[in-house]
Chains A and B, each alone.
Chain A
Amino acid sequence: MTVTGSPEVLRGFRSVQRLAYECAEAVAAQLRPGVTEREAARMQREWLRGRGVRDWFHLPFAWFGDRTAFAGFRVPLQFFPTNRELAPGMPFILDLAPVHGGCTADVGYSGCLGPNPVHDRLMRDLRVHRELILREVRERRPLREIYEDVERLMVRQGYHNRHRAYPFGVIAHKVDRVPERRFSPHVFGFGTQSLKGLAKDALRGHREGWSPLWSPYRFSQHPPRPGLWAVEPHLGFRGTGAKFEELLVVTDSRNAQESAFWLDDDLPHVRRWAEAEADREQEKERAA
């Protein structure tokens, strides 16, 4: 196991990821009709600042309505929060990446304000992607091919791959420990320390034939690299988008189970799927 794979380090990452998801759930619970994306982003920032977060992989994002499917996005500036107001039935996505205690989390939380059948269906269909990614990473398939398989599955489900809209079209990127500095500026919403780490990885990877960005391009034609990957499959259907984002641990272990695993299985979306499953089982029993 590599350094990032050691149990106490993983514990640190896990606690930051939990903190980030707590933040997302707390903010999501406060969203009301009329709240703007900017306000939602500020609420996340303040919530985390109050709990000791001083540095960010990237500042919190919030997308409402058809912006969850990145409709009409052409330049990266469009990712930043706008004055779009939330309305009943609208889907929303909160995406936040705090750094705490030197560990980075990068999470995405999708929800909707009131009932929205399309959004429910998207969330349900995300589940197989989580399983597919883990299975194929354990098989050590080249990242680029896994990317294509995910995209193909999305198309079969009737949706679009919307993570293609992210910079470099990434479905995931590496995260790592970040040195804690008293001064931690950010440029274009990204923390400079984290960017520095990413750039270092990119340089090293370039020499060794891998990349910290998991993209559809040739530079991702390599087996999964040990380390922590923030994986974010993003589905889009007409004006509705949904994603989850969480950390995948990849190690150099020979054992399939240990070679890759999700950092934490007790997350909102995983719980939601388990509950839905339990409901279905119950109905089946009742029917029987």
Chain B
Amino acid sequence: MNGHETDGGATVRERWVRAEGVELCVAELGDAGQPTVVLLHGYPDSKEVWSEVASRLAERFHVVLYDVRGHGRSTAPDPLRGGFTLEKLTGDFLAVADAVSPDRPVHLVGHDWGSVQGWEFTTVACTEGRIASFTSLSGPSLDHFGHWINARLRRPTPRRAAQLLGQTAKSWYVYLLHTPVLPELAWRGPLGARWPAILRRLEKVPADGYPTPTLGDDAAHGAWLYRDNVRARLRHPRPDAYAHAPVQLVTPVGDAFLSPSLYDDLDRWVPRLLRRTIDARHWVPRTRPDQLAEWIGEFVLAHEDGRPVAETVPDGPYADRFGGRLVLVTGAGSGIGRATAFAFAEAGARIVAADVDAEGAATTAELCRMIGAPEAWAEAVDVADEEAMEKFAERVASSYGVVDVLVNNAGIGVSGPFLDTSAADWRRVLDVNLWGVIHGCRLFGRQMAERGQGGHIVNTASAAAYAPSRALPAYSTSKAAVLMLSECLRAELAGQGIGVSAVCPGFVHTGITATALPHSPKGMGGTPITGVSAEEEQRRRKSAQRRYGQRNYPAERVADAVLRAVVRNQAVVPVTPEARGARLLARFAPRALRAIARVEPKL
């Protein structure tokens, strides 16, 4: 046994394990007294694909990686044909598991072909009691896949036929790998040489010493994984492929090789299934190590002590996507911000509720914890204050981590004709509505970009951003700027996997019109109405509030639109019917919109 250091500082202990006809190279990290997590690599990879995730998990677990036979530093079986069947791979796994954790079951994590193997290990009888949990990433069970195909062939409804055709097209490389000799030549020749560049360009895998130099041989040997198993299993899938361990299924939505619909029927085979969705492409262990390590750790711990993942089970519609992610919402003390924080909390996200009104933010955070957020914090901050925002961003990064979803929602209203709007009013509305968003995007966007593991920014613009009116010139101007900022930023950050959305709510029943009424929380300026006496201002504000109340479009529906915008990575999202209508007019009949803008509103 010899030991050496990885980049993360964890000591790697290597050893060789003898299995049927091969010597397997096994690496161990972390304290061997902790629960054992076995990481299985895919094709064309070696165990180094897991290096980032392994170093993160090694702090808490006994992490074990091994090169699958014929890959990396493990030896290849002789002859190759028939040496890579799933039965033999199961034997390898049991040999490794017995060597590294003889008396306790191990937690299994598989990516790509590692996951295909993991499914086999989790569904065959001889491993029962040796696997405590299984996390599957981008690799279906070949048996389940076979049944999936058969079900679609037997009853090809249009939707199911489309699913089948879609997956058939995505599997082009599988057919190529079945041709003799050619794949070996390609991998050992030009394809192997260009593969790292291809991964960087198409899969956005960061260039950091992966893939390893053994790639050509790994890929050439690994072709036998396909040739030995795929046809046999798909033609005659096992009828009893039920999982005997809990399974966490992580589905990358941008996977070029596997469609998410493959897992539609999975509940039939897995009694204890937890679904997760991640906005990433195929090589998740390289592109999203932080998130992956967190989910694996949580799932392992949940099935180690037998305690559930959280007290309140998140049951929101996007719980698979936002479970455990860090979401920051500004202006979370009321209205749309608060509703958005609640919606993310119901989906199981960790929430940072920021608001200038500390009391409101505290209430939001407290309620978030009650409805599904594993953790929620309140932060009092004025988004218009540059220095405060910088400190705030540092505080968030050091105490809670890098934000996965940022919602720049804080905003104030100002109403009244342009000629009556004072410079101070202008300054205030631009400070909060525009500079607040700029600071948010600047500081947290930079953190996201530097981490390099994707993220999403949602900016709350308004229907007033594209619908001119004589009642809200200052507000509309600020929101139009937010809209354009979002579009530009979207273009800039798209290459780094960071999405940017602008949400345009329209008339929504929130506190924005009423916050300066006598009983309002202090520190919040309500909508100032310029050019009228204080009394008249009060009256108009009340009447506006009542009309918003009668319109009664709930902030919850805007919050749903925010979550949907993140999941679908939408660019501009008008929410209320009037916001959609105005957007259509702005695009196809701008003169009509200008005519409407000239109407003096009845106040």
Contact = CB atoms under 8 A, between A and B. Distances in A.
Contact of B370 (A121, A155, A157): A121
B388 to A, nearest CB: 24
Interface string B365-403: 011001100000000000000000000000000000000
A152 B367 contact: no
B370 A156 contact: no
B364 A158 contact: yes
A157 B359 CA distance: 10
Contacts of A238: 342, 346, 371
Nearest to A157: B363
Contacts of B334: 155-156
B520 to A, nearest CB: 8
Contact of A152 (B370, B514, B552): B514
Interface string B542-571: 000010010010100000000000000000
A237 interface: yes
Contacts of A157: 363
Contacts of A81: none
A110 to B, nearest CB: 17
Nearest to A145: B542
Contacts of A160: 554
A118 B549 contact: no
Interface string B328-355: 0000001000100010001000000000
B371 A156 contact: no
A216 interface: yes
A117 interface: yes
Given A118-B370, A238-B342, A156 B549 contact: no
Nearest to B545: A148
A72 to B, nearest CB: 11
Nearest to B343: A238
B519 interface: yes
Given A152-B517, A216-B546, A238-B346, A158 B367 contact: yes
A118 B367 CA distance: 8
A30 B511 CA distance: 42
A244 B581 CA distance: 41
B356 to A, nearest CB: 15
A156 B360 contact: yes
Nearest to A120: B370
B521 interface: yes
A152 B360 CA distance: 13
B519 A152 contact: yes
Contacts, number: 30
A39 interface: no
A201 interface: no
A85 interface: no
A117 B370 CA distance: 7
A92 B572 CA distance: 40
B371 A158 contact: no
Contacts of B554: 160
Nearest to B546: A216
A153 B359 CA distance: 13
A149 interface: yes
A158 B359 CA distance: 11
Contacts of A118: 370-371
B549 A216 contact: yes
Interface in A140-176: 149, 152-153, 155-158, 160, 164
A155 B510 CA distance: 9
Contacts of A237: 367
A149 B514 CA distance: 11
Given A118-B371, A149-B519, A216-B549, A156 B514 contact: no
Contacts of B370: 117-118, 121
A118 B371 CA distance: 8
The CB with the most chain B CB atoms within 10 A, among A149, A155, A164, A237, is that of: A155
Nearest to B511: A155
A131 to B, nearest CB: 14
A121 to B, nearest CB: 7
Nearest to B518: A149
A225 B312 CA distance: 46
B367 A156 contact: no
Nearest to A240: B371
Interface string A117-128: 110010000000
A158 B549 contact: no
Given A117-B370, A152-B514, A152-B519, A158 B546 contact: no
A2 to B, nearest CB: 31
Contacts of B549: 216
Contacts of B517: 152
Contacts of A158: 338, 363-364, 366-367
A149 B520 CA distance: 10
Contacts of B519: 149, 152-153
Contacts of B338: 158
A158 B517 CA distance: 18
B377 to A, nearest CB: 16
B342 A156 contact: no
Interface in A107-139: 117-118, 121
Nearest to B342: A238
Contacts of A216: 546, 549
Nearest to B359: A156
B548 to A, nearest CB: 12
Contacts of B546: 216
A155 B521 CA distance: 11
B521 A156 contact: yes
Nearest to A132: B519
Contacts of B367: 158, 237
Contacts of A156: 334, 360, 363, 521
Interface string B488-517: 000000000000000000000001001001
Interface in A69-111: none
A237 to B, nearest CB: 7
A209 B520 CA distance: 30
Nearest to B368: A158
B225 to A, nearest CB: 48
A192 B338 CA distance: 43
A188 B504 CA distance: 41
Interface string A209-245: 0000000100000000000000000000110000000
Contacts of B520: 152
A216 B552 CA distance: 13
Nearest to A121: B370
22 contacts: A117-B370, A118-B370, A118-B371, A149-B519, A152-B514, A152-B519, A152-B520, A153-B519, A155-B334, A156-B360, A156-B363, A156-B521, A157-B363, A158-B363, A158-B364, A160-B554, A164-B552, A216-B546, A216-B549, A238-B342, A238-B346, A238-B371
Interface of A: 117-118, 121, 149, 152-153, 155-158, 160, 164, 216, 237-238
Given A149-B519, A156-B360, A216-B546, 18 more contacts: A117-B370, A118-B370, A118-B371, A152-B514, A152-B517, A152-B520, A155-B511, A156-B363, A156-B521, A157-B363, A158-B363, A158-B366, A160-B554, A164-B552, A216-B549, A237-B367, A238-B342, A238-B371
When A and B form their complex, which 6 residue pairs have the shortest distance between CB atoms, in order from nearest?
A: A158-B363, A158-B367, A118-B370, A117-B370, A152-B519, A238-B371
